[in-house]
Amino acid sequence: MNTSTKNHDLISDVGRLYVVATPIGNLGDISIRAIETLRTVDLIACEDTRHTKKLCNHLDIATPLISYFREKEQSKSELLLAQLLQGKNIALVSDAGTPGISDPGAVLVRKARHAGIEIIAVAGPSALAAALSIAGLEHTTFFFGGFPPANKNERKQWLRQLALLPCPLIFYEAPHRIAASLQDMADLLGDREAQLFRELTKIHEECLEDTLIGLLKRVASGVKGELVLIVQGAELALPKPNNLEELLLWYRDEIKATLKDAVGNIARDLDLPRSQVYKQALQIWKDTP
């Protein structure tokens, strides 16, 4: 197994940081390399020691655990960096899936890289990859939004920025927020086709396919488990033009944007004063067919 990197400036007597993916439900998804790594490192840094302890017990791994969670990411990463610099090999795991994907990890990885520590990805399960792999999408691109903002106003503002993306949109969402998110998505993106993946790799794994409003009705009486939502991207009949007048027409006729939204977006995209865009927009909207 080759775990070396091409960076010859790395300091040799320091430890290595292994970023290890763990199962998102089905324990059989752990890789041989992940087991070997967790067994042989000096320390496993994890979000919740009780949670990872169960995984280690199942795998008969006795490596010491140390907690590393979002709220203490800065201070804990300093502590772990000190251990790495003293020559300790550390594995970083999250509760489930791949660390760093809507999970803690980035702070430690960045600090370790700046300090010249070798960082090795022990790749494996992720809910994002699992959902994508069975979504049957023909697109080669997608947008991954992680968790939508919990605050309704922030979520709506955020969704407005995604409305024009012409590729599938993928989100993680909690069961108690899925209805509110589906409603806001339907309001701001339109009632698009969507897929809701629940409990991937687990006994009750399922995929609900419907429009956003259809899904909303199906989860109205409550939904349990872990969720990944994939929403169809914007369908744009005409490509986005790049001059002011055509852009205004495009926003008005193709996107059905309000004058205010069109002015804001165009002023930003073309780096023009809003007043200039607004003046011309008034003319175009006055002539609405």
In the complex, minimum distance from the CB of residue 59 to ligand SAM, in angstroms, rounded to a whole number: 19
CB 181 to ligand SAM: min, Å: 11
Pick from 199, 209, 210, 253 the residue near ligand SAM by CB under 6 A: 199
Closest-CA residue to 111 (of 149, 139, 77, 87) = 77
Shortest Cβ 92–ligand SAM spacing (Å): 12
45 half-sphere exposure, CB direction, 13 A CA radius: 29
Burial code (b: 16+ CB inside 10 Å, e: under 16) for 76-103 equals bbeebbebbbeebbbbbbbbbbbbbbbb
60: buried, middle or exposed (CB in 10 Å: 19+, 13-18, 0-12)?
exposed
104 lies in the site for ligand SAM, by CB under 6 A: no
For residue 82, state whether it binds ligand SAM (rule: CB under 6 A): no
Tokens standing for residue 159: 């969704």
| Residue 47 in contact with ligand SAM, rule: CB under 6 A | no
- If one asks whether residue 230 binds ligand SAM (CB under 6 A), the answer comes out as no
Of these, 59, 85, 101, 167, which contacts ligand SAM (CB under 6 A)? 101
Q: Are 84 and 17 spatial neighbours (Cβ–Cβ below 8 Å)?
A: yes
Write each residue from 140 to 179 as x if it is in contact with ligand SAM (CB under 6 A), else as -, in one continuous string: --------------------------------xxx-----
Closer to ligand SAM by CB, 101 or 234: give it: 101
List of E strands, the chain: 16-20, 43-46, 65-67, 90-92, 118-122, 143-146, 169-173, 193-198, 206-211, 227-231
Q: Count Cβ atoms below 10 Å from residue 256 Cβ, excluding itself.
A: 10
**Residue 26, both tokens:** 């089905």
Determine if 201 is a binding residue for ligand SAM (CB under 6 A): yes
Please tell me the count of residues contacting ligand SAM according to CB under 6 A.
23
Give the list of residues 6+ apart from residue 118 with CB closer than 8 angstroms, or none: 4, 5, 7, 10, 16, 17
Among 30, 80, 200, 284, the residue binding ligand SAM under the rule CB under 6 A is 200
182 binds ligand SAM (CB under 6 A): no
- In whole angstroms, the minimum distance from the beta carbon of 54 to ligand SAM comes to 16
Q: Which residue has the tokens 């590729």?
A: 167
Q: Which residue is nearest to ligand SAM (CB)?
A: 97
Should residue 128 be labelled a site residue for ligand SAM when binding is judged by CB under 6 A? yes
The minimum distance between CB 254 and ligand SAM, in angstroms, equals 32
Contacts of residue 269, Cβ cutoff 8 Å, sequence gap at least 6 = 247
31 binds ligand SAM (CB under 6 A): no
| 205 three-class SS | coil
What is the binding site for ligand SAM (CB under 6 A)? 24-25, 94, 96-98, 101-103, 126-128, 172-174, 197, 199-202, 226-228
